[in-house]
Structure 1
Amino acid sequence: MESTIVTKLKPELNTLVLLKSNTKPENALQIKTGKYFCIMSLFAQSVIKGKTILFDRNTYGCPGACAGLGFGTAYDKAMGGYETFATFFSKGLESAEEPEKYRAFAEKMPSGVKQKLIEGERFHCSKQKAYKWISKDLPLFDFPEEYRILKPLKELKDGEVAESVIFTVNPIQLTTLITLTGSIREGVNETITPQGAACQMIGNFVFKEGESNNPKAVLGLLDLAARHTVQNILPDDVLTYAVPWKLFLALEKEAEDGIFSSPLWKNLQ
């Protein structure tokens, strides 16, 4: 698919789409079954090299990506379930209701994982808040399609509809996309910045916005764990800007004679 936005924005990195399908694409990268893995490293390969990435219910990488890709949730069963994740996402051992049991669980893990479990990722100020986030606040989807496909927008075929269109952009490009979105949306605050994993900021948070009659864009790569994963692959000054399909189509139309025709944009080129 040719995109007016991409043509005028000229991002250095590939704009991607995330879609669901029952058809397995040829020559797609896919991690090994059951392997624990941060899928943002695969995302980075698609952004830089234009690779097509394939996921299914056995190759989604980690519990965060299970939710992010619309395969339901694994937070309730993986790694000790909600209790362990709520402790891990808050302050680790000092948040644990049964410290010795939690420490014994952590001791069985590889050294890097063990240290994070003990200290906690500290994404939430308390175990109670973290528990509410994973069990109630996080939007969950369990789409019936077998596969999730991540690939460049330019490779989207006629008839294919993406769930999420993902721009990976620098600050000037991001400013322009936010301006473009604000120019067509009613009200203010056209972009959300959810607390979550980077894969969720291009996936399930975007799916949720896609259900709205007035969907917002989702700003992403705001996950320190993912930033560590992609630090030596992607520039430090890029963020993701993901939009549901119907918002993307509206932005495409406005891009023809909107902000890209402004002297403000032209003067920055």
Structure 2
Amino acid sequence: MKSKISEATGLKYQPVCLLWSDEKPEDAVQFKKGKWGCTMWLVSNAAKGKISCCDRNTFGCIGAGVGLGFGNQYKNFIGGEECFRYFLSTGNKNWPKGKENGTELKHYMQDEFHDNYMNGEGYLKSPDHVADFVRNLPITEIPAKYVIFKSIELVDTEKEKPKSVIFFTDADQLSALVILANYARKSNESVIIPYAAGCQTLGIYPYREAESENPRAVVGLTDISARIYIRSQLGEGLMTFTVPYKMFEEMESNVEGSFLERPLWKELVEEKLGSISGGL
């Protein structure tokens, strides 16, 4: 499958399709059972042309288990969901149970994780704020064994239907996609940027939007932990823009006749290409 949007916006990487399946694709890359890993590694491999996947035993980290639709995996965090609340905020050293867990299990933890476990990541102000964060997540149990990431060019829509499509964009391309998302809508708020893990903006938020009559796109990679991994895999300055498949088809159908064919956008793209070639 080809994407008109990709061609018109000059994306460096082809869009990545997220699919559900009960069968693992041949030669798909996957984390080992029980091993830590960041979902962004799976998605970036797909952007580079490889097929990747995960299941309930190989999603890499607790947040990704939640984010990709394998239920409330925060209950399985070290010390349970309450310890996760301290982990994401002020740190487990600030309450007895968490401090005891961190001390007893230190030799099982990597240094960076132990530091975050004890001192907190500081992403939310308090454990109570984290409890609200978890409560507001559209936590999902998908009805399939695998979540698969595959470059759009490798998808045969006669045999498989993506749940969503993920674009890796720079600031100019993100601006274009926001415009295109609203191009044929009666509302001008067809894009959201929730505070969430990078994988959650690729998974459970687009899953939720897919159930809507007028689904919205989800901007992601505002998660700085995920940005570290994307930077090392795909380069600087990228954001994700994820759309449920129905919305992708809508946006694809609106490329022709839109601003993407007008001189201003073409000038912006040409200036970008010129600056890149001029720096070589």
Could you tell me the TM-score, scaled by structure 2's length?
0.90
* Structure-2 residue corresponding to 1:205: 205
Matching of residues 16-165 of structure 1 within 5 Å:
16-47=16-47, 49-93=48-92, 95-96=94-95, 98=97, 100-104=99-103, 107-108=106-107, 109-134=109-134, 136-159=135-158, 160-165=160-165
Contact 2:88 2:124 in 1 (8 A): yes
**RMSD (CA atoms):** 1.6
Task: Provide Cα deviations, 1:20-52, integer angstroms capped at 9, x if missing partner.
Answer: 0122211110111111211212222222x2110
Q: Percent identity?
A: 34
- Which amino acid counterpart does residue 168 of structure 2 have in structure 1? T
Task: Provide Cα deviations, 1:216-267, integer angstroms capped at 9, x if missing partner.
Answer: 1111111111112233222221100000011111101111221212222122
CA shift, 1:105, in A, is 5.0
- Which amino acid counterpart does residue 215 of structure 2 have in structure 1? P
Could you tell me the TM-score, scaled by structure 1's length?
0.93
Stretches of structure 2 that go unaligned for 5 or more consecutive residues are 270-280
Stretches of structure 1 that go unaligned for 5 or more consecutive residues are none
Contact 1:106 1:118 in 2 (8 A): no
Call closer, same or farther: CA 1:238–1:100 in 2, change over 3 Å: closer
* Structure-2 residue corresponding to 1:189: 189
**Structure 1 stretch 228-237 or stretch 8-17: which is displaced more?**
228-237
**Structure 1 stretch 202-211 or stretch 177-186: which is displaced more?**
177-186
Task: Provide Cα deviations, 1:137-172, integer angstroms capped at 9, x if missing partner.
Answer: 111111121111101011111332111100001111
Task: Provide Cα deviations, 1:156-200, integer angstroms capped at 9, x if missing partner.
Answer: 113321111000011111111111112122223221111111011
